[in-house]
Amino acid sequence: MKAVKHIHDSLLSLSYGLETSDTTFAVPEAGFGALSKLINGIAQALEESASKKSDSFNAAKKEFNHIFELLHHDQALGLWTSVFRQFTEVGQNIILATASMQWDQLLDYLRHITEPEFEVDATLDHVLNILECCNSSLKDLLREHLLNSAAFWDPDVLARVPLSNNCVELGLIHDAALRGRNLALRPEAMAAIGPRSEEHGCPTCDGHGAEPQPPEVVSGATSDYVDDDEFLKFPGAFDDIPLVPIVDTGGGCNLIKTEWLRAHGLEHKIDRNPQRGQVLLMADGSTSKNLPVIDVKWSFDGRNKVWTNVEFTVVDDYAHEALIGLPFLKHTETIHTSGGKMVFPEFKGVHTKKEAIPLYNFGTTTGRK
């Protein structure tokens, strides 16, 4: 009971004398500093009481402190302003609003802790949920607006990203490496995209105060006729054998046709262990039998990289030779989203005339048996 009372008194006392976000975040750096101090205080209170949830709170504290330090105090990137000041006004306001919401939620909850109704586990779970959810949102927003900032289009800055412990801990090294590689390999294409304008917050504006260019007007009428060429495709090599799979951004796994494997002498590599099998949700709502898998090397044409141990589910009589699903597309950064846009890094000449309609409709219901 002494530990419970210590947690109760410590959490309640942390809210004393604190103002709402309107005042606290009037100066953004000061607001983030106050929020960091509050989160550190919560984690310290749990550590002092030897709470079993102390590790989770320390992890949330560490993540927020990396976000705070990167936004306002990071020196390793060598910028002439803080990272926060590199963002557009829209980006600054969104990040500030998210941090303000986290502050107000924590403050409101801590101020309403009353001893007769105090349940330590429920209280800590609620506070931890606030921390983790807001940290996740801040981390995603920071990544999005950092990628769209002018600083992250500077090769010198990108080269210094691995020197920033905050960037390392927040997982920004791969983004920097991919951006740097694209700038080096496709400077003209990347220049056409460019960072977002500070004035307008969009890539269509050509500088401060300039009028955006009028959009190209193109007919949106499509034909009802669909042939195999109307699927989005990313050609590559399956165990060094050329293959052009269709792409399904709603697909939960990769597919390969049994007959294609047989024709190319790869049937012997199929793993028929039922523990590894996949069960797919069919288009009519039924489920398939337990299907075998195969592990292979895969590479995309136009990318100087080979992925090993790539799993494909083996399907008899499939309408196409192969299909690449969303998890692998995201893992390989073949597609990802940035600033609300779908991005296809490093590819040229990829096109589709109409939305692909795959044979299978899996996703969250796809599972192992």
Q: For 242-264, what is each residue's pLDDT tens digit?
A: 998 988 766 678 899 999 999 99
Q: pLDDT higher for 239 or 188?
A: 239
Rounded distance between C-alpha atoms, residue 98 and residue 105, angstroms: 11
Tokens of 183: 């700038």
Q: Return the pLDDT at 64.
A: 94
Rounded distance between C-alpha atoms, residue 255 and residue 238, angstroms: 12
Rounded distance between C-alpha atoms, residue 255 and residue 251, angstroms: 9
Q: How far is CA 82 from the centre of its chain?
A: 23
Contact 322, 243 (CB under 8 A): yes
Strands (E), the chain: 236-238, 241-243, 246-248, 255-257, 278-279, 293-300, 307-315, 322-325, 336-338, 341-343, 367-368
Our CA dihedral for 171, 172, 178, 181, rounded to 10 degrees, sits at: -130
Residue extent(s) of CATH 2.40.70.10 domains in the chain: 228-368
Residue pLDDT, tens place only, 52-84: 778 888 999 999 999 999 999 999 999 989 999
Tokens of 327: 């998890």
Q: For 80-117, b where at least 16 C-beta lie within 10 A, e where not — what string?
A: eebbbebbbeebbebbbebbbebbebbbeebeebeeee
Rounded distance between C-alpha atoms, residue 134 and residue 128, angstroms: 10
Q: Which of 58-62, 162-166, 214-218, 294-298 has the lowest mean pLDDT?
A: 214-218
Q: Which of 58-67, 124-133, 196-205 has the lowest mean pLDDT?
A: 196-205
The dotted CATH code for 228-368 is: 2.40.70.10
Contact 279, 365 (CB under 8 A): no
Q: Return the pLDDT at 253.
A: 84
Mean pLDDT of 323-339: 69
Q: pLDDT higher for 108 or 304?
A: 108
Q: Return the pLDDT at 12.
A: 75
Is the pLDDT at 210 greater than 90? The verdict is no
Query: Distance of CA 357 to CAs 200, 287, 300, Å?
Result: 37, 18, 22
Instruction: Give the list of residues 6+ apart from residue 82 with CB closer than 8 angstroms, or none.
Output: 29, 71, 72, 73, 74
Any long-range contacts for 340-346 (C-beta under 8 Å, 24+ apart)? 345/178, 345/182, 346/181, 346/182, 346/185, 346/186, 346/302, 346/303
Tell me if residue 44 falls in helix, strand or coil: helix
Is the pLDDT at 29 greater than 90? The verdict is yes
Rounded distance between C-alpha atoms, residue 222 and residue 153, angstroms: 37
- Identify the CA nearest to 195 among candidates 145, 260, 244, 258: 145
Rounded distance between C-alpha atoms, residue 312 and residue 328, angstroms: 10
Q: Return the pLDDT at 37.
A: 93
Q: Return the pLDDT at 275.
A: 81
Contact 71, 87 (CB under 8 A): no
